[in-house]
Amino acid sequence: MSKDLPVDTPLNSLGLPKAPAETRVVVAMSGGVDSSVVAAMLAEEGYDVVGVTLQLYDHGAALAKKGACCAGQDIHDARRVAETMGFPHYVLDYENTFREAVIEEFADAYLAGATPVPCIRCNERVKFKDLLETAKDLEADCMATGHYIQRRIGPTGPELHCAADPNRDQSYFLFSTTPEQLAFLRFPLGHLASKAETRALAAKYGLPVADKPDSQDICFVPNGSYASVIEKLRPGAADPGEIVDLSGKVLGTHRGVIHYTIGQRRGLGIGGGEPLYVVKLDPGTRRVIVGPKEALATRIIPVREINWLGDEPLTARPEWHVSVKVRSTRPPREAIVRPLSATEAEVELLDPEEGVSPGQACVFYETGGTRILGGGWIWKGRTA
């Protein structure tokens, strides 16, 4: 039982009016250095830490790979960190949930000619939904993760802000975090200036993962080969078809639409003449449509499933002047968001962007600031 504290108890480092020893924190531990440092840091500060690792996918030979989170070795590493720092650690089997909520949609999106971002869906549908509910079942006061993003208290409640280190910022992958989730979540690494600081902390705490390499690619995709995973999940998905130009002229053949992405130039096998890029994928006719670079330029982007994090409702204004990211690796660029409903909008880029692809996220940022205002999913639109 927690002791009754005076009304004027100061807030602890997690922003809660309790002594650290009376504050239970569930830490989502992937087995990597980031979440391990979060757990160790909070344990050293005296919090009641409970480490939880999710077993997300089949660890058999078909999908075994190094450098991915939540595989067998990573579960072992997370357990060793918990033993080192002296807090309990649990492994939860979420394979079925992960397959249904993330992997199946990933396969279907690729087959529909989209370029999905399964890491966002995993945060949205597994880590920040089911795991967060599990944390509440464990009577936790909050849940902490190793994500590089900042949570700040604003005039109307918690706000989401970019990480201090722009090279590590993970805001693109966390735009779908809801205000209710944000009230319960904590991101203790978001203020660090560099990954070097995180590794220095890991060494300070004597963690066995201090020198562990960062995870790469998508956890269930071996060697970065999306196509091989799709073929395994959807036999026959890699049927060959035609490569055509914008007028419909056949330029060659391809080995399956799933092997191509919007904006791709290399590996088309149609050399000679001006450089050609993939500008559209048509799974229905099994066609890959190519064209010159200028054909990739997009100004108007239909966006749906919007999660809005602004202080006013999205529909409170006819237009929002913001900056947006349409890929995780690109800097934000100025845009106008015109709401169509509480969850749909048309986004106009002030300068056209190349390679905008259905299935990617369009994330909204405060222009000239660090706040994330939400975002949604790019789709083909009603007239496509």
Which residues fall within 8 angstroms of residue 136, CB to CB, at 6 or more apart? 184
φ, ψ of residue 215 to 5 degrees: the values are -70, 150
**In this structure, how many other beta carbons lie within 10 angstroms of the beta carbon of residue 182?**
18
| 34 in a known ligand binding site | yes
> Which value, in Å, is the radius of gyration of the alpha carbons in the chain?
22
Residue 69 among the catalytic residues: no
Active-site entry in 122, 142, 162, 362: 122
The single residue of 119, 142, 162, 219 carrying the catalytic annotation is 219
- Does 373 show up as a binding residue in the annotation? no
Integer Cα distance of 335 and 364 in angstroms = 9
Residue 272, C-beta contacts closer than 8 angstroms, at least 6 positions apart: none
Contact 266, 312 (CB under 8 A): no
Distance CA 34, CA 190 (A): 11
Burial degree of 92 (CB within 10 A; 0-12, 13-18, 19+): middle
Annotated ligand binding at 2? The verdict is: no
31 marked as part of a ligand binding site:
yes
Q: Is 122 a catalytic residue?
A: yes
The reply to whether 248 sits in an annotated binding site is no
On whether the CB atoms of residues 163 and 169 are closer than 8 A, the answer is: yes
Question: Does the annotation place 32 within a ligand binding site?
Answer: yes
Among 74, 98, 331, 115, which residue's Cα sits nearest to residue 230?
115
Least Cα distance to 280 among 272, 268, 288 occurs for 288
Ligand-binding site membership of 29 (annotated): yes
The two tokens of residue 124 are 């949205």
Is 342 labelled a binding residue? no
* SS3 call for 85: helix
What does the alpha-carbon distance between residue 129 and residue 147 come to, in Å, rounded to a whole number? 16
Structure tokens of 39?
């757990």
30 known ligand binder:
yes
Looking at the annotation, which residues are catalytic? 122, 219
Which residues belong to the annotated binding site? Answer: 28-35, 54, 146
Binding positions for ATP: 28-35, 54, 146
